[in-house]
Chains A and B, each alone.
Chain A
Amino acid sequence: MGAQKKRAAAAAAAARVSEDPDDLARQPLQAILLADSFTTKFRPITLERPKVLLPLVNVPMINYTLAWLEAAGVAEVFVFCCAHSKQVIDYLENSEWFSQPNFTVKTIESHNIISAGDALRLIYEQNVIHGDFVLISGDTVSNMSLTQALQEHKERKKKDNNAVMTMIIKKSKPSPITRQSRLGTDELFMAIDPNTKQLLYYEDKADHSKGTICLDKMLLAENPSISLHNDKQDCYIDICSPEVLSLFTDNFDYQHLRRHFVKGLLLDDIMGYKIFTHEIHSSYAARIDNYRSYDIVSKDIIQRWTYPYVPDVKFCGNRATKLERRGICFTAFNSEIEQSRSAQVGSFTVIGYGTKIGSNSKISDSVIGEGCTIGSNVLIEGSYIWDNVIIEDGCELRHVIVCDGVIMKAGAVLKPGVVLSFKVVIGERFVVPAYSKVSLLQQPTVHDSDEELEYADNSSGTVEFSSIQGTADQSNGEMTSESSEAHKPKLGTGGVGYIWSICEGGQEEEWRHSVAPIPEDKLTELSEAMDDDQELVTQDRTALSTSGELISDSNASEGDDNEDSKDDSVYFEKEVEATFLRAVEENVKVDHVILEVNSLRLSYNMTSADCAGAVFYSMMKLAIKTPHSSASELQQNTANIITTWQKLLKSYLLEIDEEIEIILKFEEMCLESAKEFSPLFARILHILYDKDILQEDAILRWADEKEGADESDKVFVRQSEKFIQWLREASEEED
């Protein structure tokens, strides 16, 4: 039995090896389609319907993805259903996708999966993926051709077995003001090797407040060339080798595809797995991640960037619409709509089959589903209205999403950013405030800001809901009257539904991901904030550069121009200065300051001469910063500070070299950063001598050293000539 098995395995292996070269080309391409995004961005809608079935320009999203997969030459798709799996499977079974020649769609169902990582682990266990596969989620719209990317992936794989994944990226400029892409996702930073296209760094959650990102030094050291991008958009289409699945199984803590898997692979250099990128130029690819991208992608579809997946082309079971010319641009129409003569339907609008539009209504830049009834004098702008919605006379809708079966009573107003979930009823003349989300279901109370937990909550919450929903729906049917009674004040007279409270901290960010465009005032606010930031940054930079110069010069005089140590000494000096200033402000004991400076010295690996220089530098800086009107006052200030802190300074002046360092430092300051001291050089030197900080030997040695220097360097020696002369005489006398 065992032997038999072995033989079979060997035969299989042999077959695989022999087939290998053309096998790669001939093997039918497989794809994994995740019909669940494992996030809560589309709540409350996704409590009742899975995200992939939400209509995008009147066609459920998953059709765009499947149509693309089919066109791209994928032979077999595994649709992984989790939340509302029954709805997804029912939909697919009734669609034409199951009856396509050369294109098989299979569903994998699971209820206790809480992340993409778990889903891939489950698929690995089922052992259905045999070769390279496309990993995509069911909310991606694209029209790119896979051939080239696939070819590249396979060639790389042949050369280097560790090239496990090819990620599709597209150039898209992020807005400098909001720091997010046009799809409403955060600005993404990528480091890519320009020659091999290898992905070296991926950061989608960068901290924008600082305006900086940190790269590992090794990244620069190991790669001969590297290009950093913030203008690339991740299309969330990945071509993976089968190893990816086993990697997920090996690393059971991988949950999120990008946050854990990609970053994990990039950081982990033990296994040496590599991720590459493929950039698409003319073709389109985007993932619908939040309400904003729903809006943007819808508009891209209407403007035909996704051709041939556009409303007037019958790419799946949808009813083809006809284009009609409105002004210069086009509007997609179904022939069977009843439109009043006085109704104005503007350009870039799609209107579904069997919809009625009353007189004097104005519709522009919107998508309206099938079987809707729109009364007269209604204003609809930039909105997404799904099927069988009833909008009575005089309503106003701007930049909102209205789900199936919603009833809006006469005169109701939806402010920008509102989302009305299924079958909500808005009362007469009720104004729904901006960015609010209204649902028949109550807001789940669990709220954890912790990300990991969020995953767990999300999907289990969703699953729970889907199971409860059946009963909830039934009871709702009977209880609508009661619940509407109870919530009358919330949605106006006759209104049914709950307004979800925006979770704490969410309010601030709500506008970023909403369907509504970013309001003008937010933009100005942001750009002002950004200007301030920039000023801060530039200020920092100037401060840095001056002190940097100081240090580099002093280092040069010591013949030490190592780049690293120069950098370090700049930081060290800054830190010492900060410590010193804090000590002055807070009246810290001298002993404590010494202790702190010592610890800094250890951590930066500095000599005591460096410490002395830094401490002295900070003291002089303090002196010059203290307000003063004349040179004598400045001298007085300096004397005071030196007196107060002489103990600190002295603790670093163990030998004569350190004292000379101080003089050199002082000289340098007088020449560059603190020219005010230059006339006072001799006097302050005297003070230092008086306070026993500098010994005469040090001063004399300094003078001797300077003897042979250029004339320009001798300015201060000459200034203090008298003093030096006096010192010389005194020492001779002593002798």
Chain B
Amino acid sequence: MPDIQALVSDLASKLRKRRVQGSYETARLTAELLCAVILQHKEPTTNGAASLIEAVRRVGEQLIAANPVELAVGNIVRHVLHIIREEDLSPLTDIVGELKLSAEDDVEDIAEDENSQKSSATTDGCLLKPPLLLAVFEHLPDSATACQTFSSENIFAGKADKSAKKLKSELIKAVNELIEDINTCREGIAEQAMELIHQNEVILTLGHSKFVKEFLCAAKEKKRSFEVFIADGAPKFEGHILAKELDKKGLKAIVITDSAVFAMISRVNMVIVGVHAVMANGGVIAPAGLHVLALAAKKHDVPFVVVASTHELCSLYPHNLEVLLNEMRCPSELLNFEEFSDCIDYGIASSSSLLHVVNPAFDYVPPELISLFVTDIGGYSPSYIYRLIADYYSSEDLPPQQKPAS
């Protein structure tokens, strides 16, 4: 247990000091840490799942507090909680199935989208029902907890001893699958490149996203020939890195400035970008500058495609107060402190310098500007995102801060 605590505080401090950044990296590390937490967790004989949920949530809260801007941390924590709840419920399904809960028809079409661990856990997809319903009717959390207590105490109590170990091993398996998914999500996304990128097309992207790079490279490998415009993505100019990488792969790339996107957009067939997080309403949190690009694409009716993996799906809405949507980064990325050191002198005459630098990291792009999401589990329209989220997260975990400690 102290071992785990050290690991947790280590990751927390890394997040806090902004040494781990980017949704992919944070998601992977969080999932690995949570896996260790589950592995080390000593379960009480009764109520194993509840105490496990509690432990994971506690760790999750620490990590989320460490850097609230990295939404991927919260996503993974909630997803793991969701897995635990499901694994906890799955033995129940037999019993519940006998009790004849209906509405199976509704669920069947979703079952095919489900991850393998879920379909292996259940035969008829009945387990999908509670989270789905609750996500749609969010004002019903009471029934959820009722269901929870009902399940764990009354029916499940007798089998607790036997199933505790089974639960844990199932969980470890499921979480390992999750880690595996995170590691392979890029390939999943890249597989769809052929369907979206056509011969002799012109693609525009902004900044540098690993997903976009893999996506483009996958199309190239299948002998598609196309051109890529790269907006360089001020102030970090990561577009230059992408240009270099594409050049190595033999792709024709043209670097433009961010401010030239509107001029170029009319020649472009499709915009493909990577994002920081996908919100529950289908909007995205993306590197600064994307909103302008999205508006330009809308104006010229150019498809605006977002590539995102499932761990970037965030169950929060952009209007939630708990979400820290933006981070103000260091002004020295924009301005050279040395050159302006005489302008930023507060000591002379007027107390405050007149020169200020604001360097936000992210933009929010509303869902109506987005044409398509390409995820590792397929392509979706923005209006479908809330359904995906319901598949991935339990409503009980939604705003973790507001949840009273149970």
Contact = CB atoms under 8 A, between A and B. Distances in A.
Nearest to A67: B17
B326 to A, nearest CB: 9
Nearest to A516: B351
Contacts of B337: 170, 282, 284, 305
B305 interface: no
A593 B221 CA distance: 97
A680 B344 CA distance: 63
Interface in A19-78: 67, 71
A269 B170 CA distance: 73
B358 A328 contact: yes
B176 to A, nearest CB: 26
A281 B345 contact: no
Contacts of A306: 330
A146 to B, nearest CB: 14
A313 B16 contact: yes
Contact of A292 (B329, B347, B350): B347
A727 interface: no
B342 A295 contact: no
Given A172-B338, A282-B336, A517 B351 contact: yes
A303 B356 contact: yes
A517 B332 contact: no
A320 B6 CA distance: 21
Interface in A103-161: 143
A314 B16 contact: yes
Chain A interface size, under 10 / 10 to 19 / 20 to 34 / 35 or more: 35 or more
Contacts of B66: 314
Nearest to A329: B356
Contact of A303 (B348, B351, B357): B357
A517 B350 CA distance: 7
If over half of B's interface residues share one DSSP class (helix, strand or loop), that class is named, otherwise mixed; here it is: loop
B328 to A, nearest CB: 6
A190 B149 CA distance: 73
B7 to A, nearest CB: 9
Interface in B318-374: 324, 328-333, 336-338, 341-342, 344-353, 356-359
A178 B328 CA distance: 33
Contact of B344 (A170, A182, A518): A182
A71 B20 CA distance: 12
B351 A365 contact: yes
B352 A283 contact: no
A277 to B, nearest CB: 15
A520 interface: yes
A369 interface: no
A171 interface: yes
B330 A307 contact: yes
A323 interface: yes
Nearest to A182: B345
B10 interface: yes
A304 B17 contact: no
Considering residues B66, B342, B345, which has the most beta carbons from chain A within 10 angstroms of its beta carbon?
A: B345
B18 interface: yes
A184 B342 CA distance: 13
A656 to B, nearest CB: 63
Contacts of A661: none
Contacts of B330: 143, 304-308
A303 B336 contact: no
Interface in A269-321: 281-284, 292, 295-296, 299-300, 303-308, 312-315, 320
B97 to A, nearest CB: 47
A381 interface: yes
A330 B328 contact: yes
Nearest to A172: B341
A301 to B, nearest CB: 11
A503 interface: no
A315 B332 contact: no
Nearest to A174: B342
A2 interface: no
B16 A518 contact: no
Contact of A348 (B13, B348, B352, B359): B352
B163 interface: no
A662 B332 CA distance: 67
A171 B16 contact: no
Contacts of A506: none
Contact of A315 (B17, B351, B359): B17
Interface string A355-366: 000000000110
B9 interface: yes
B352 A365 contact: yes
Contact of A517 (B6, B324, B347, B357): B347
B132 to A, nearest CB: 34
Contacts of A519: 349
B347 A182 contact: yes
A15 to B, nearest CB: 31
Contacts of B328: 304, 312, 323, 330
Nearest to A292: B347
Given A182-B344, A282-B332, A296-B346, 13 more contacts: A71-B17, A175-B347, A282-B337, A284-B337, A299-B352, A303-B331, A303-B356, A304-B329, A305-B330, A308-B17, A314-B66, A330-B358, A348-B352
29 contacts: A171-B338, A173-B341, A175-B345, A175-B348, A182-B341, A182-B347, A281-B336, A284-B337, A295-B346, A296-B347, A303-B344, A303-B357, A304-B330, A304-B331, A304-B359, A305-B332, A307-B331, A312-B328, A313-B16, A314-B65, A314-B66, A315-B17, A323-B328, A365-B352, A382-B352, A516-B351, A517-B346, A517-B349, A518-B349
